[in-house]
Structure 1
Amino acid sequence: MKQLFASVLTSALVLSTTTSVFAADDSVAALEKAAKAEGTLNSVGMPDSWANWKETWQDITSKYGIKHSDTDMSSAQEIAKFLAEKNNASADIGDVGAAFGPVAMKEGVTLPYKPTTWAQVPDWAKDKDGNWALAYTGTIAFIIDKSQVKNEPHSWADLLKGNYKVTIGDVSTAAQAANGVLAATYAMGGNEKNLKPGLEYFAKLAKAGRLGLNDPSIASLEKGEVQVGIVWDFNGLNYRDQIDKTRFDVLIPTDGSITSGYTTIINKYGKHPNAAKLAREYIFSDAGQINLARGYARPIRAEHLTLPDDVKAKLLPNSEYANAHPITDAAAWDKSSKALPRLWQENVMINMQQ
């Protein structure tokens, strides 16, 4: 996932098939002027309630006078929409899971753009040409209902020794659950090519009657249906604060976890390409990154930001992530994740106690 690039705007603002005004040089001022002339930005998969996009859209509207609308949809649906509409595009920018950035690029629907903070985005979190770049990350965490769990687990090893139920969700459909399997796999000595250690781990929980397959959602947590849930950190922290901050703990397992994230993709066919590029510029700015942190998402530039105290209090400290790893072999994980539903059925579900 790549090479560091200088902190300048190096992407060419090329002509497209639309009639939009285009910036003639690589300055942010020229980009702003072109974006303001377009005056509109239509996003997909970036609703107000997710990762605090609401404040980012409010900022872009108030700062640049750009009108915004969003249609929520899944990562796969976003790419399919870009492909299907092409020159009749109704969307300019989307937000997709990390695995879908390379997919969108392969499908030929991305317009590259490197924000001015490009050099502060880690190599693993971006395409070298600017077709995609993660703006924020999620790391697999435990959310623990302290009213039900007295000996809190701090690692996967601790989790295995407990007497409480561990809820992961549906591995065949939920990216959160699938990445939970990969996180345990890492902790048990496996990797993207070898999921066997993780599958064996969950098979032990299943044999002990301790594996829950319901969704560890805010509703099920609030009802007390989840004792320990395997969730993205930003989901866990959000759920904790919405229900009762004193009732739940959220932590990253000390013996290993997996970090993934979400990337903006700019639609090559979009009618407002400069507004989309300006949105990416803002999302990767200090203000945009802090907005994401307010929504419990961990900014990709976290190590280069000074977060306000109230925002810092929403997130886990950097020390929690000492043994969290980005996916190192995306191609292998793509292959393994497609086989995971079958492998899960053959290795884990067969051991489930009724």
Structure 2
Amino acid sequence: MKKWILMAGSAALAVSQISLAFADNIPASLIKKAQQEGEVVSVGMPDSWANWKETWHDLKTKYGINHRDTDMSSAQEIATFAAQKNNATADIGDIGFGFAKVAKAKGILQPYKPTTWNDIPDWAKDPDGYWAMGYTGTIAFIVNKNLVKHIPHSWHDLLKGKYRVTIGDVGSAAQANNAVLAAAIANGGSEKNIEPALKFFAKLAKQGRLATNDPSIANLEKGEVAVGIMWDFNALNYRDQINRNRFAVLIPSDGSVMSGYVSIINKYAPHPWAAKLTREYIFSDAGQINLARGYARPIRTDVKLPADVKDKLLPNSEYKNAQPIKDFKVWQQNAKRLPQLWQSQVLIYQQ
């Protein structure tokens, strides 16, 4: 875990010089303290999600910081921080925007503002530095062309098919919750009125077409997902990892929702300086480009993306009917009610 610290004489100096060479505007004192800890432990930040893999690789090669992750939903991340407290195992997490204020209210976060703080829009960060959005995502469809003859381009199209539709763990996972909101918006609803979405998915359940599995890369590769509803960055990433020609990825033409994920640092983090260095890197130019390589749209619009990275993303025309969350407070309240509403108004019809 900390073997690099034990390197003697000139070798240790070389590592230090290499790290500082990559530091950009990151404070040298922060780098030094993080290197003394030698490790960062994350939750909900697996290699396959939004290209975290390259960020973990960079932290290792540039600063000598080792990394471990346990994949979790947003709700599970918050519960883990709250339950472990002084016996914490995790340092940093990545949770859906809708969970950000919940996490802060529980008193389980510690604040840290990276040096690029002023480049992050005000709406996408906590004024005290307890959380900040690193990237945005828009709810998309991923379609297995081997299983679906007529590709659905809208929510309306989904109801006309014979294939099963996979949404994931509604009530727990931010991705699945936002899929519900996207369906609501496309069918005349809003953050305040998600009834159209519940009715929509109830119709799928009554048809026996609502799948209960998760739209994970493993399930997609095995052919167990005909149509998955997920963030665009995940859908594009999974498509290219498995077989670009096997899947179609699109934003539903009749409406979708744009949101994002925020960085949180555990108040009880066993490696707090490494966690802060990680946040610094996430919001640096290099970290933002890493996220874009994972098909996520960086929150910092001042970062210039390389041409090959731009080519990974969907064209802007796909997003013409996607809208950001307009009433965050109301959506947060409805998101809390989703587990019960999903059970009583959708899963009750599951066949």
Question: 1:242 corresponds to which residue?
Answer: 241
Question: 1:292 corresponds to which residue?
Answer: 291
Q: CA deviation at 1:184?
A: 0.3
The residue type paired with residue 302 of structure 2 is H
Question: 1:228 corresponds to which residue?
Answer: 227
Q: CA deviation at 1:142?
A: 0.5
**Most deviating of 251-260 and 50-59:** 50-59
Q: CA deviation at 1:248?
A: 0.8
Secondary structure of the 2:159 match is helix
Secondary structure of the 2:27 match is helix
Deviation string 1:216-269 (CA, Å, 9 cap, x unpaired) is 333333343333221222221122112211111101112211223222112344
Secondary structure of the 1:224 match is coil
Distance 1:170 1:118 in 2: 33
Q: Give the alignment of 1:304-319 within 5 angstroms.
A: 304-319=302-317
The residue type paired with residue 67 of structure 1 is I
Secondary structure of the 1:304 match is coil
Tell me, yes or no, if the aligned pair for 1:36 and 1:66 is still in contact at 8 Å.
Answer: no
**Most deviating of 110-119 and 278-287:** 110-119
Question: 2:276 corresponds to which residue?
Answer: 277
Question: 1:334 corresponds to which residue?
Answer: 332
The residue type paired with residue 329 of structure 1 is D
Distance 2:58 2:328 in 1: 34
Question: 2:4 corresponds to which residue?
Answer: none
TM-score under structure 2 length normalisation: 0.80
Distance 1:308 1:330 in 2: 33
| Residues 341 and 201 (structure 1), Cα distance of their counterparts in 2 relative to 1, 3 Å cut | same
| Residues 336 and 35 (structure 1), Cα distance of their counterparts in 2 relative to 1, 3 Å cut | same
The residue type paired with residue 205 of structure 2 is A
Tell me, yes or no, if the aligned pair for 1:142 and 1:252 is still in contact at 8 Å.
Answer: yes
Question: 1:165 corresponds to which residue?
Answer: 164
Distance 2:142 2:52 in 1: 24
The residue type paired with residue 33 of structure 1 is S
Question: 2:41 corresponds to which residue?
Answer: 43
Q: CA deviation at 1:283?
A: 0.9
Distance 1:166 1:293 in 2: 27
Q: CA deviation at 1:89?
A: 5.3
Distance 2:87 2:290 in 1: 31
Distance 1:48 1:120 in 2: 26
Deviation string 1:303-348 (CA, Å, 9 cap, x unpaired) is 4333223322332223322322333333333332333233233333
Deviation string 1:63-118 (CA, Å, 9 cap, x unpaired) is 3x343332415344544454455566554433223233222321223332333333
The residue type paired with residue 321 of structure 1 is Y
Distance 1:342 1:77 in 2: 17
Question: 1:142 corresponds to which residue?
Answer: 141
What's the % identity of the aligned pairs?
63
Tell me, yes or no, if the aligned pair for 2:143 and 2:227 is still in contact at 8 Å.
Answer: yes
Structure 2 portions without partners, runs of 5+: 1-22
Distance 2:291 2:149 in 1: 33
Distance 1:67 1:221 in 2: 32
Question: 2:12 corresponds to which residue?
Answer: none
Q: CA deviation at 1:288?
A: 0.4
Tell me, yes or no, if the aligned pair for 1:136 and 1:261 is still in contact at 8 Å.
Answer: yes
**Runs of 4+ that moved beyond 6 A:** none
Count of aligned positions: 325
Aligned partner (choices 27, 32, 36) of residue 28 of structure 2: 32
Deviation string 1:138-194 (CA, Å, 9 cap, x unpaired) is 321101122333332222123233444333234354433332111100111212221
Question: 1:104 corresponds to which residue?
Answer: 103
Tell me, yes or no, if the aligned pair for 1:144 and 1:152 is still in contact at 8 Å.
Answer: yes
Q: CA deviation at 1:285?
A: 1.4
Structure 1 portions without partners, runs of 5+: 1-26
Q: CA deviation at 1:297?
A: 2.8
Q: CA deviation at 1:132?
A: 0.5
| Residues 312 and 115 (structure 1), Cα distance of their counterparts in 2 relative to 1, 3 Å cut | same
Question: 1:323 corresponds to which residue?
Answer: 321
Distance 1:79 1:214 in 2: 23
Tell me, yes or no, if the aligned pair for 2:263 and 2:279 is still in contact at 8 Å.
Answer: yes
Deviation string 1:195-215 (CA, Å, 9 cap, x unpaired) is 111112223333444333332
Please tell me the root mean square deviation across aligned C-alpha atoms, in Å: 2.9
Q: Give the alignment of 1:21-100 within 5 angstroms.
A: 31-39=27-35, 40=37, 41-45=39-43, 46-63=45-62, 65-74=63-72, 75-83=74-82, 86=85, 91-100=90-99
Secondary structure of the 1:161 match is coil
| Residues 228 and 31 (structure 1), Cα distance of their counterparts in 2 relative to 1, 3 Å cut | same
Question: 2:341 corresponds to which residue?
Answer: 343
Q: CA deviation at 1:350?
A: 4.2
Question: 2:119 corresponds to which residue?
Answer: 120
Deviation string 1:267-303 (CA, Å, 9 cap, x unpaired) is 34446544433322221111101112223333222x4
| Residues 317 and 130 (structure 1), Cα distance of their counterparts in 2 relative to 1, 3 Å cut | farther
Secondary structure of the 1:262 match is strand
Tell me, yes or no, if the aligned pair for 1:164 and 1:210 is still in contact at 8 Å.
Answer: yes
Question: 1:12 corresponds to which residue?
Answer: none
Question: 1:183 corresponds to which residue?
Answer: 182
Tell me, yes or no, if the aligned pair for 2:98 and 2:332 is still in contact at 8 Å.
Answer: yes
